Structure 1
Amino acid sequence: MKKRIVFFVNSLTGGGAEKILQTLLNRWEGSGWNISVYCLKKEDVPSGYPRNIAFRFLLGSLRQGDGFWTRLKIKAGNKLKLLVYRHCPPSVFYRMFIRGTYDVEAAFIEGYATRIASGSPNADSRKLAWVHIDLAANHWTLPAYRNAEEEKRAYRRFDTVVSVSPDVQESVVALAGPLRDARVLYNPIDVQAIKEKSAEFVPQRPEGKTLFCASGRLVPQKGFDRLVEACHRLAQAGFSFHLWILGEGPEGRKLEVLVRERGLQDRITFLGHQENPYPYMRAADWMVCSSRSEGHSTVISESLILGIPVVSTLCSGVREQLGDGEFGLIAGNDTQDLLRALEDILTERADRRDYGERALRGGSRVDLDGRMNALEGLFETNH
């Protein structure tokens, strides 16, 4: 009989964790496993996911053209589910709204998905949870729970809690206390696919200017506001450069207003969400990670694979990924240090060719098969 696996996620798009899930599921396509994915809100399934997955959505989404009764039904269903979610234990929500019995149940992202998965009543399933963020630096998950104690209990219900870096593991153990099994497993990244996609087209880039590129969800965690501020100071100092920002998110409008207020419309371009961001990354002179917190930045790993020089603020996972500066340029975790690093690049104190060679050395350490083998071992059902 096929092994039945269910993944719980908050969204199918928008960040590194979702990219990693795509890589994992595509590598497992044709494995004979029966895989389902539960997502919080109804959304279109991106083209990067395999088509033989059963996608299920907990909250309905209103679409243009829906009739009155359809809209009423969706709104009423969503309201009921949210009331149960907010006021009942996870076990009640799970029993009411999760269908099927599974051999392995995996919360692939912290927060809402982890709380829901922790409510499984199936004593025979293997339960896994992933943490992709430093919860000490960015405890964004607390609103997903009724209180802090409930979050601690949720993590203790899993057979294994997987962290994507040692710093992340330290943060989740500090938060939840002793766990049954806490492990660090690095994210699987499809090196060959990234290289192939990066060559699909060549975007037009500004001529005669150093081109920076930053990629990620437009949320405060990613620090795009301070990157814009650093660019403002660089422009005031007379430096010639351009910045591409790839991604979308709730801070998008605010960032666009900030760019206009700073008079940077001719220096910063918002390219939105790109199904294939790699040609834009490859066209850049430097990739910039301005995050206030991370777990183990997927964008940094992808940049190293493509041999693109990387400058990053210092947050969880960065020292490890950039080899304490051997494979990239590390700035302090504030606007002023980020500004100094960008000035070093623009004044050529940090040489692009040198850091490009460093990036390639760092990217050569990524071993997809080894990481996949380690992950597959987690899904064995013998406790």
Structure 2
Amino acid sequence: MKKILIVNNNMKVGGVQKSLLNLLWAISDQYDITLCLFSETGDYISQLPKQVKVYSVCSLFRYLGISQSECHRLYDKLLRGCLATFCRILGRPFVIRLMLCSQKQIPEKYDVAISYLQNGNRRSFYGGVNEFVLSKVHATRKIAYLHCDYSRCGANFSSNNKLYKQFDCIAACSDGCRHSFLATIPELQEKCITARNFHRYDEIRRLAADSPVKYTPNRFHLLVVGRLAHEKAVDRAIRAAAHEIEHGINLELHIVGDGMMRDDLRQLATELGIQDFVFFHGEQENPYRYMVNADLLLLTSHHEAAPMVIEEAYALGIPVLSTQTTSSEEMVVARGGGWVCANSQSALNATLEKILGNEKELKAVRSTLRNVSIGNQLAMEQFALLTGDQYAETANKTG
């Protein structure tokens, strides 16, 4: 049984962490897995498979796993604050060099070491997992995962690009993410393959059936699920809802998730006069009970990688309307699961109006979703490819 070390910042609620949790559930019976976290925190910690060994670091890297508000001691607040300030002024590469000096080499040797989190922009206090795996882990093969649109997320800069050249393999979570990465670093064509996210489909359906939300009858119910952050552009969903209501369409917009934009989004709904039709449900341990009876899932982001919520919606038979992003065509249009519009407010408004004006077509997409292929077989084959010896020969076939 191969020994695999997977390194991540934490197990808080988020797309990367959920993807990692699903991966662990899918492979924990087939590999000897150790999960190394910068901080052993997050709601997903309690959901990890029992056979996965978990430990957290004691070095300066621990500050990349927690927020400033999570630092309870004054010493930690000051030190993390200083590191974040240095990052903004001098750049993350400088700060990571300091952190590496505080971290001992991991004594055990592994067959495979996986960096599960990519770096952010050069001055963001985020990431560091790639450097940790490259410098402090003994492994026969080292793999870096990509859960981003590399050309647009701010990660495309010289010192970061050089890191990927040191890995044996790069695993992009969709074909679109792979193409975005290779457009930036084409010389890594033979190293970069697609490794799709795993999903716990039975668990999604089980949770959806647990006290499903019953919405107001005789209205369309639109749903947004995700972080309330700038790049998610949830304000577009609110503006689109206001546009449809103004044109006589009876609807409600339900927003599941939390984040720094929450108060601004509430204020926007009030300014547009639709506060009675927009419902903020906050972060939910079980978002699927809100999803199962929705009519349409909206993804309105400026840029995205491969949103896990799309596959979750398909598992529950919910059509999707997404703005044009890295993976939207392959995940939505190619599978007949919904619509993709240009990445603008006007395109979103027009497309949503067309969808809600043709309920017959909306029902037809729902019917199509009953026949959409859903499963983890391809993801499992791709992961096996990552951990094997023949990834270079079949990289192009998987992308």
SS at match of 2:223: strand
Cα-to-partner distance string for 1:8-63 (whole Å, 9 max, x where unaligned):
23x42343322111111123345562412324695555543335441426126677
Kindly indicate whether residue 165 of structure 2 is the aligned counterpart of residue 166 of structure 1.
no
The residue that corresponds to 1:175 in the other structure is 184
Counterparts of 2:377 and 2:168 in 1: how far apart (Å)?
24
Q: 2:124 is matched with which residue?
A: none
Please report how far the alpha carbon of residue 239 of structure 1 lies from its aligned counterpart in structure 2 after TM superposition: 1.8
> What percentage of aligned pairs have identical amino acids?
23
Q: In structure 2, do the counterparts of structure 1 residues 61 and 353 end up closer, same or farther at CA, with 3 Å as the change threshold?
A: closer
Structure 1 counterpart of 2:12: 13
**Equivalent residue of 2:343, what SS?**
coil
User: TM-score normalised to the size of structure 1?
Assistant: 0.85
In structure 2, distance between residues paired with 1:233 and 1:98 = 57
The aligned runs of 1:279-318 (5 Å cut-off) are: 279-318=289-328
Structure 2: which amino acid aligns with 1:35? T
List runs of 5+ in structure 2 lacking aligned partners: 120-126, 392-399
CA contact 2:222–2:298 (8 Å) conserved in 1 = yes
Equivalent-residue separation in structure 2 for 1:242 and 1:274 (angstroms): 19
Bigger mean CA offset, 82-91 vs 48-57: 82-91
CA 44–305 in structure 1, closer or farther in 2 if over 3 Å, else same: closer
Confirm or deny that 1:88 pairs with 2:87.
no
Contact 2:148 2:177 in 1 (8 A): yes
One-letter amino acid of the structure 2 residue matched with residue 15 of structure 1: G
Residue of structure 1 equivalent to 2:118: 110
How far has the Cα of 1:300 moved from its partner?
A: 1.1
Deviation (angstroms), 1:303? 0.9
TM-score between both structures, scaled by the size of structure 2? 0.82
Map 1:174-253 onto structure 2 (within 5 A).
Answer: 174-179=183-188, 181-253=191-263
Higher mean displacement: 349-358 or 72-81: 72-81
2:371 partner SS:
helix
Indicate the residue corresponding to 2:49 in structure 1.
50
Cα distance, 1:215 vs structure 2: 0.8
Q: CA deviation digits over 1:137-187, x for unaligned, max 9? A: x22336xxxxx2111111111111111222211221222342261101221
Report deviation, 1:4: 4.6
Task: Report if the CA contact (8 A) 1:248-1:273 is conserved.
Answer: yes
How big is each residue's C-alpha offset from its partner over 1:289-347, in whole Å with a ceiling of 9 and x where there is no partner? 11222222211111112111222222121111224473312222211111112212322
1:92 CA displacement? 5.3
Deviation at 1:375, TM superposition (A): 1.0
Q: Distance in 2 between matches of 1:18 and 1:175?
A: 25
Shift of 1:367: 2.5
Matched, 1:259 2:281: no
1:118–1:88 CA distance, 2 compared to 1 (3 A) = farther
Q: 1:127 aligns with which of 142, 145, 169?
A: 142
Give the 3-state SS of the residue equivalent to 1:269 in structure 2.
strand
In the other structure, the counterpart of 2:80 is 78
State yes or no: 1:378 paired with 2:378: no
**CA distance in structure 2 between the aligned counterparts of 1:18 and 1:378, rounded to whole angstroms:** 19
Aligned with 1:368 (options 373, 376, 393): 376
- 1:283 CA displacement: 1.3
Match of 1:100 in 2: 106
Q: Distance in 2 between matches of 1:228 and 1:349?
A: 21
Is contact 1:161-1:182 (8 Å) kept?
Answer: yes
> Is the contact made by 2:149 and 2:305 (CA closer than 8 Å) also made in structure 1?
yes
* Cα distance, 1:79–1:214 mapped onto 2, change above 3 Å: closer
Instruction: Tell me: CA distance 1:39–1:372, structure 2 relative to 1, closer, same or farther (3 Å).
Output: farther
Amino acid in structure 2 at the alignment position of 1:78:
R
TM-fit CA distance, 1:224: 0.7
What value does the CA root-mean-square deviation take over the aligned residues? 3.0
Distance 1:343 1:278 in 2: 25
Structure 1: runs of 5+ lacking an equivalent: 143-147
Q: Which residue of 2 aligns with 1:145?
A: none
| 235-244 vs 322-331, which moves further | 322-331
How many Å separate the matches in 2 of 1:187 and 1:316?
15
Contact 1:203 1:279 in 2 (8 A): yes
Indicate the residue corresponding to 1:28 in structure 2: 27
Given residue 271 of structure 2, which amino acid in structure 1 is its aligned partner?
A: E
Give me the whole-angstrom Cα distance separating, in 2, the residues matched to 1:25 and 1:340: 41
Aligned equivalents of 1:56, 1:124: Cα separation in 2: 18
